[in-house]
Amino acid sequence: MLRVAAAFCWVPLGTGLAAAERPADHEVRALAATCAACHGTDGHAVSGPAMLRLAGMPSAEFVRQMRAFRDGTRAATVMQQIAKGYTEEQTEQLGDFFAAQR
Amino acid sequence: MKRRDVLRSLGWGASALALPACASWRKGATAATVVVVGGGYAGATAAKYVRLFSDHTINVVLVEPNSQFVSSPRSNLVVTGELKLADITRSYDDLHRRHGIRIIHERCTGIDPDARTISVERSGPLRYDRLVLAPGIDAMSGTVDGLEQARHAGRIVSGWSAGADTVALRSQLAAMPDGGVFAITVPETPYRCPPAPYERASLVADYCQKYKPRSKVLVLDANQDVTAMGALFKRAWQQRYSGLLEYRNHYNVVSVDAATLTARFDVQADVRANVLNVMPPVRAGALAVAAGLANVDARWCAVDFLTFESSVARGVHVIGDSIHSAPMMPKSGHVANGQAKVAAAALVAAILERPPNPHPMLTNTCYSYVSADDVIHSAAVYAFDGAAHTFKPVKGAGGTSPTPSAAEADYARAWAGNVWADMLG
């Protein structure tokens, strides 16, 4: 009985430890909110083509574009300056977040 | 056994772990009410994002006397007739319709952090669990002799907030004769939107060049130099408005004469104008000052930057232009929008009894017109620095435009559409 209980508890605790290494969903959501003034709430831009709609963009594409802004291979007016404010890990979290928005 | 005890001590039973980490199963959250005072860039964003970040479980009441939102960013385009006031005016209705926010179009007359209530003009007192104050700024007209009377008489406009002032300034400029003098005074920093006076002067110069070319635009600046995007503005003035726009530093206005539209300065000679736009020093909105929250120089509200909670009133979060800003962080609409989200996340966390996000971030992009067609920007990314307990610009990020461009006018337009939807839609 004791062994069963211990085994039962091990799984969620293990999940908890893994979760501690990456931010919680609500923290990623707050990070994504830093994009929203220009790119719309949860990436749902409403205002013409100048500022891209991020909602539904494939994660790999988002990450590739952000890297291109950072290393200068994609020319931009503002994003080359903004993209440098985010780490590679944050960029990947943002990519996954926006890909999941519909 | 030990691990299970740890889980229990955290209040997480096995059944709770099986549920998603949504708020609805926590009883405390469903009853909580957040009151937001002020429906500008900061307040409206906070109201919406408390609803979003709590998955619509926390009740939100927005107290804002104006029936519609009028944007100060882009209002300089109304001064020169490029836009109408309706173009920068938006409804608050979606905050109610789409997000279930209760909106009370009345003035908040006082706050009581001990009782956790605010008083409102006609409705009775409102109880809150957390209060968000976004009272914006108020002009310190008393610091310039004669300004209060001149403003009441409609002779001199300040134009710190879009609305009636914007329309009045538009009328004064339209009535100015060719060969007239448009003078604008700039207060010492800090003030709302550092590039705003320079953008206004640029747009007025562009207007004069097109319609009243014998006129003159005077920028009378209390600072020692242009306080935002200085190199870009000064190059644009030299290249586009040479002989038309004149910039003068160290001009600290001390009094005005409404009858003759004359400004007097502490050191420099008097300046007489056809349109005198005096932008006096500003401070936190009167509500924050009256509540004793403006504890920095009796002008600005000190906050804990991790949560934007007031340093003097527990449970009261202050955001937007009324706070004592983090270093290198301008008082802009974009920053107010970002601060609102950090505060919303933090107070939702507090209500749901989880720790605040230890790494909040926000961004800024200020678009400024140097003419009706060409725009420049200044951008930055800010991250919370735990050791210094404040926001700092992320090194290597941010910057300005290399040169004014029509492409950035498209971005400025798109920015406005998207940020208005982010706060109101």
Q: Mind listing the pLDDT tens digit for each residue in B218-242? A: 999 999 999 999 999 999 999 999 9
- For chain B, give the mean pLDDT: 93
The candidate with the shortest Cα–Cα distance to B32, out of B52, B62, B54, is: B54
DSSP B299-356: TBB-EETTTTEESSSTTEEE-STTB-PPTT--B-HHHHHHHHHHHHHHHHHHHTT-PP
Cβ atoms of B284 and B134 closer than 8 Å: no
Inform me whether the pLDDT recorded for B48 exceeds 60: yes
Residue B420 is encoded by which pair of tokens? 């208005």
Residue B35 is encoded by which pair of tokens? 């009151």
Inform me whether the pLDDT recorded for B11 exceeds 50: no
At residue B270, the 3 state secondary structure works out as coil
Cβ of B397 within 8 Å of Cβ of A39? The answer is no
What is the structure's pLDDT at B266?
Answer: 96
Best mutation target, B22, B58, B363, B382, to test chain A (most A CBs within 10 A):
B363
Alpha-carbon distances, residue B347 vs B46, B359, B383 (angstroms): 10, 15, 19
Q: What is the pLDDT of residues B266-280, one digit of tens each?
A: 999 999 999 999 999
Please identify every stretch of chain A with a pLDDT value under 70, giving residue numbers as ranges: 1-21
In 10 A of CB B29, how many CB atoms? 19
What is the structure's pLDDT at B154?
Answer: 96
User: Per the domain annotation, does B168 fall within a domain?
Assistant: yes
From A51's Cα to the closest Cα of chain B, the distance in A is: 7
What is the structure's pLDDT at B123?
Answer: 87
Q: Where are the domains of chain A?
A: 24-99
Best mutation target, A51, A70, A87, to test chain B (most B CBs within 10 A):
A51
CATH of the domain at B180: 3.50.50.60
From A43's Cα to the closest Cα of chain B, the distance in A is: 10
Inform me whether the pLDDT recorded for B5 exceeds 50: no
What is the structure's pLDDT at A2?
Answer: 37
Distance CA B191, CA B184 (A): 15
What is the structure's pLDDT at A48?
Answer: 78
DSSP B380-423: EEEEEETTTTEEEEPTT--EE-SS-BSHHHHHHHHHHHHHHHHH
Q: Which of A24, A47, A86 sits opposite B418 (nearest CB)?
A: A47
What is the structure's pLDDT at B30?
Answer: 55
Side-chain-side CA neighbours of residue A57 (13 Å): 22
Distance CA B169, CA B178 (A): 16
State the fold for domain A24-99.
Answer: Cytochrome Bc1 Complex; Chain D, domain 2 (1.10.760)
Q: Which of A30, A77, A85 sits opposite B394 (nearest CB)?
A: A85
Q: What is the pLDDT of residues B172-185, one digit of tens each?
A: 999 999 999 999 99
Cα dihedral B363/A86/B359/B323 (nearest 10) = -20
Inform me whether the pLDDT recorded for B149 exceeds 90: yes
Question: Number of folded domains in chain B?
Answer: 1
What is the structure's pLDDT at B151?
Answer: 96
From A61's Cα to the closest Cα of chain B, the distance in A is: 21
Contacts of B329 (CB under 8 A, 6+ apart): B335, B364, B380, B382, B391, B393
User: Per the domain annotation, does B248 fall within a domain?
Assistant: yes
Q: Which of B334, B410, B411 sits opposite A37 (nearest CB)?
A: B334
User: Per the domain annotation, does B360 fall within a domain?
Assistant: no
Residue B182 is encoded by which pair of tokens? 């448009």
Taking the model in full, what pTM does it have?
A: 0.91
What is the structure's pLDDT at B3?
Answer: 38
What is the structure's pLDDT at B8?
Answer: 33
Cβ atoms of B22 and B55 closer than 8 Å: yes
Residue B47 is encoded by which pair of tokens? 């109201």
Q: What is the pLDDT of residues B76-101, one digit of tens each?
A: 999 999 999 999 999 999 999 999 99
* Terminal CA-CA length for chain B: 50
- Which residues form the domain of B246? 141-282
